[in-house]
Structure 1
Amino acid sequence: MENTKLPDDFIADLHEYLPAEHQQLIDALATEPVSSIRLNRRKIDIECSLEKVKWCEDGYYLNDRPTFTMDPLFHAGAYYVQEASSMAVEQVFRQYMKEVESPVVLDLCASPGGKTTHLASLLDGEGFLLSNEVVKTRTKTLCENVAKWGFANTAVCSVMPSSFTELTGLFDLILVDAPCSGEGMFRKDEVAVAEWSRDNVKMCAERQRTILKDVFPTLKEDGILIYSTCTFNPHEDDENAQWIADELGAEMLEIDFPADSGVTKDKCGYHFYPHKTKGEGFYIAAFRKNQQEDEISIRTKQDKKKGNKGNTSQPTPAEVMKWIDDPSITVTDGIAYPTEFEQLIQFFNQNLRLLQYGIPIYIQKGKDVIPQHNLAISNIVNKEFFEKEEVDWERAIAFLRKDNIEVENDKKGWLMLTYKNVPIGFVKNLGDRTNNLYPQNWRILMSADKSRYKEIF
């Protein structure tokens, strides 16, 4: 943002709360932002020579920013393009959640899905993750990113934080990556600069407290709350963290970061400043809930309409279960999900109207059982069951554009396409042609241009 002028009030405020370092921060905001990714180890387990993000096991910095749209592995969910500082959530999870069995986790403000997919990887198929996004127009991107990440122990909803208030004592971990004034995004987003004002900072700080107050009752006793923003100012950061301790009665927790990470310890939380850490502006604080909270019963309401004869779900075809490489999974109405959390999913659906959950794995048309694209890119698919064909970049991009592609395999039927041994989807081989099963609303609209593709791995 070399040519973008920072607001005068913002600079004046920096002088006040960062007196010794304000010019270093201002200078850093005039430089180019760094690019970083986080790998999905369930899909791509490779030795990577890129520079590691010090606080994230699978986080790496890129030397430059490629056109990710031209990389088939990006669309397969093999990695997520995520700002490095925000990967700090991992440290809280590893330090305070690893001993919790089957944790139920809420990401309250989840879109576009960076921290949600990170939490899904940290859970690694254990427990259950509910990702919420209040803004309806942002849910499409969230749903797509969760689906591409491939875990069955996930669900997405779109409700106000107050919808969780009466669901007391339900979650072991809640992440509130609160809507904020966006100061940490200044060098990436000129709109954030244009919209910044002291009044907006004040409004954001008040809204953040309302959100926290609404959602705190749904955290279990001894549960962990992570509060984060992409800001620098104390009103949205340390002052709100202190408010969480004083007004909500939560215990502040220490977070350990590598000694050479450049992370700044404040009174209540931790700042990632772009002149000291390799990333954008970020703030994170962690808390434990010590007070007792009655846990809501998750028994679901039964349909008592006249004539109801119980479960009306269609039986799952026997062959479908061979498509899945996970004995802990149940399939109902074409959707695969962890058997352990069947009742919880029903409870969420009745109370929060889920937008999606689990993995849609098949639809049935007459006698035909058709595998769904989400199965191919999931972490539960039995890759050995399906005929596979490895495709080059040109055919992979053609598939992702939903163009017709030719295959070399002579066997008719469902064919799993892979790129660099990572599944990218299904086609049906009819012999003289193929049917492309890639979702219409996910297709690449950009023209295929290999000059814009840069191999990351």
Structure 2
Amino acid sequence: MSNKLPNDLVRRLRADKGFDTEAFVAIHDTAKKSNTIRVNPAKPADLTHLKLDKQVPWCKEGYYLSEQLISNLDLLFHAGCFDVQEASSMFLSYAIRQLGLDQSAIRALDLCAAPGGKSTLLNASLHPDSLLVANDIVKARVILLADNLMKWGNPNVVISNNDPSAFNRLPGYFDLMVVDAPCSGSGVLRKDDSTAIDEWSEANVALCSERQRRILTTSIASLKTNGYLFYSTCSDSMEENEEIVDWLIETFDMVSVPLNLNTDWQIEETTSPKYKASAFRFYPHKMEGGECFSFAVLQRSGIQDSFAMKRIKPEKYDVPLDIIPKWVHNDDKVFVFSHQDNIHIIPSQYELDLKALQNVLYLRNAGTQIGKFTGKELIPSHDLALSNYIQSNIPFLSLDLENALSFLRKEVLPVELNTTGKLGWILIRYKGMNLGWMKAMPNRINNYYPKRIRIANL
């Protein structure tokens, strides 16, 4: 038996005569972990210090690292230049390209999105004019989700904090629905997660399978006819994967969508027990640099009524539009609105979508927050500092590593550090990438790095 895997799980695996249980157990008992990042194509940066080894074969933005990375200690991570993600999960990028979902604008939903790795991948992989709704039911996790997408810098994102059932109020709205479902977690036991090890049981597998069905049942109406569902878990259990695929086909008029794979990738293609639908398994003992991951693509063939966008009326917002061009480029391509007393922008083509989503969902964030207007000036937001839409002519100050670390710790910066000779709002940069705001006064510098995300251990 394994030093790390529950005995009942090992017995289950050994019951599958075609599965190399001993190799699977052995890889879980080693200390080696996956070490991969995915770069942000909208923020090209010098990442040579990360020791990029080679590209993840199914994701052009993904890279294996030759040395272990502690992302929280890397300033370019906080600037949104890259995200840490296991290679297995990056497979969504390949599926998007295979299905042509990157060729035109679509509406996509990441239903169980926190902490946001798959959301940033979707935001980078889909057509840039697409709209992404990233949702999570847990408030604390939604805060982390919002922070991660904020760093990615794109305004075509709406972040919601809702039970999956809320999305049935948007029938036929989404072209793509991604459900990385909560699961029994047998695929993450390699991470030395003692809680996951203690909680895994066959009874918990059954409970998770029921939960997955509830999540899908109460939200599937939001997927339009011919829309795609990406269903995934980090579980090895058939009850949470292939059997769920069979249930989806039987219950919701879904059809299985196969994908063409390179056999060198060592991704195992399986079939569901009843309908022989395609599914894909990623195992750490078979492939380099990835963890356990199960993935399937389905397409909705049944007729689904569509949400009536024509009933939505635009809302007028009392926003001082004349200040926007000072802070935002491409201002003619964005819709400016207020949300929770802050000024935001979202691509103009999604003005009505924003109103529709506000009518039926609780939104944590929408588009990119620009800042708050006090009546005299705009107090720019941290979101704007990291936005890909920020004006290029805003004054900035480039800091060396030591002073940039002080800034991220939200420490007091010495006034002589301001070598720009300017007063007022100034961007802080490190290696050419924006980190946040300072406000230069005649006798001091105010550090505006958000307290909630300051880096205490740098």
TM-score when scaled to structure 1? 0.91
The one-letter amino acid paired with 1:283 is S
The one-letter amino acid paired with 1:36 is T
* Structure 2 Cα separation of the partners of residues 94 and 167 of structure 1: 26
**For residues 145-168 of structure 1, what are the alpha-carbon distances to aligned partners after superposition, in whole Å with 9 as ceiling and x for unaligned?**
111111101011111111112321
The one-letter amino acid paired with 1:315 is P
* Structure 2 Cα separation of the partners of residues 373 and 286 of structure 1: 37
* Structure 2 Cα separation of the partners of residues 94 and 75 of structure 1: 28
1:162 corresponds to 2:171:
no
Give the Å deviation of 1:124.
5.3
* Structure 2 Cα separation of the partners of residues 177 and 99 of structure 1: 20
What corresponds to 1:353 in structure 2?
362
Q: Retained in 2: the 8 A contact 1:91–1:256?
A: no
What corresponds to 2:293 in structure 1?
282
1:381 corresponds to 2:384:
no
3-state DSSP of counterpart to 1:42: coil
1:272 corresponds to 2:282:
yes
Give the Å deviation of 1:389.
1.8
* Structure 2 Cα separation of the partners of residues 312 and 70 of structure 1: 40
What corresponds to 1:294 in structure 2?
305
* Structure 2 Cα separation of the partners of residues 4 and 421 of structure 1: 47
The 5 Å alignment of 1:56-455 reads 56-98=59-101, 101-123=104-126, 125-188=128-191, 189-267=193-271, 268-278=278-288, 279-299=290-310, 311-316=316-321, 318-326=322-330, 327-333=332-338, 334-383=343-392, 385-405=393-413, 406-446=417-457, 448=458
The one-letter amino acid paired with 1:13 is R
- Greater relative contact order, per chain length (Cα 8 Å cut-off, separation 6+): 1
* Structure 1 Cα separation of the partners of residues 385 and 136 of structure 2: 26
What corresponds to 2:275 in structure 1?
none
* Structure 1 Cα separation of the partners of residues 103 and 91 of structure 2: 19
* Structure 2 Cα separation of the partners of residues 119 and 38 of structure 1: 12
Unpaired runs of 5+ residues, structure 2, are 272-277
Give the Å deviation of 1:65.
2.5
Q: Retained in 1: the 8 A contact 2:13–2:19?
A: no
Give the Å deviation of 1:299.
4.9
Q: Could you say if the C-alpha distance between residues 47 and 111 of structure 1 is closer, same or farther in structure 2, counting changes exceeding 3 Å? A: closer
* Structure 2 Cα separation of the partners of residues 62 and 372 of structure 1: 33
* Structure 2 Cα separation of the partners of residues 280 and 410 of structure 1: 51
3-state DSSP of counterpart to 1:355: strand
Give the Å deviation of 1:218.
0.8
The one-letter amino acid paired with 1:225 is L
Unpaired runs of 5+ residues, structure 1, are 304-309, 449-457
Q: Could you say if the C-alpha distance between residues 163 and 64 of structure 1 is closer, same or farther in structure 2, counting changes exceeding 3 Å? A: same
**For residues 7-61 of structure 1, what are the alpha-carbon distances to aligned partners after superposition, in whole Å with 9 as ceiling and x for unaligned?**
1111100011354411111111112211111101111255864221111111111
**For residues 72-115 of structure 1, what are the alpha-carbon distances to aligned partners after superposition, in whole Å with 9 as ceiling and x for unaligned?**
11111111111111111111111114366320000000000000
* Structure 2 Cα separation of the partners of residues 113 and 345 of structure 1: 21
* Structure 1 Cα separation of the partners of residues 351 and 454 of structure 2: 32
The one-letter amino acid paired with 1:141 is L
3-state DSSP of counterpart to 1:101: coil
Q: Retained in 2: the 8 A contact 1:300–1:350?
A: no
Give the Å deviation of 1:238.
1.1
**For residues 185-240 of structure 1, what are the alpha-carbon distances to aligned partners after superposition, in whole Å with 9 as ceiling and x for unaligned?**
00112221111000000111121122122222111111110000001121111111
Aligned residues: 438
3-state DSSP of counterpart to 2:134: strand
* Structure 2 Cα separation of the partners of residues 5 and 71 of structure 1: 31
The 5 Å alignment of 1:30-45 reads 30-31=29-30, 32-45=32-45
RMSD over aligned Cα atoms: 2.0
3-state DSSP of counterpart to 1:226: strand
Deviating beyond 4 angstroms after TM superposition, the runs of 4 or more aligned structure 1 residues are 45-49, 299-303
* Structure 2 Cα separation of the partners of residues 72 and 161 of structure 1: 35
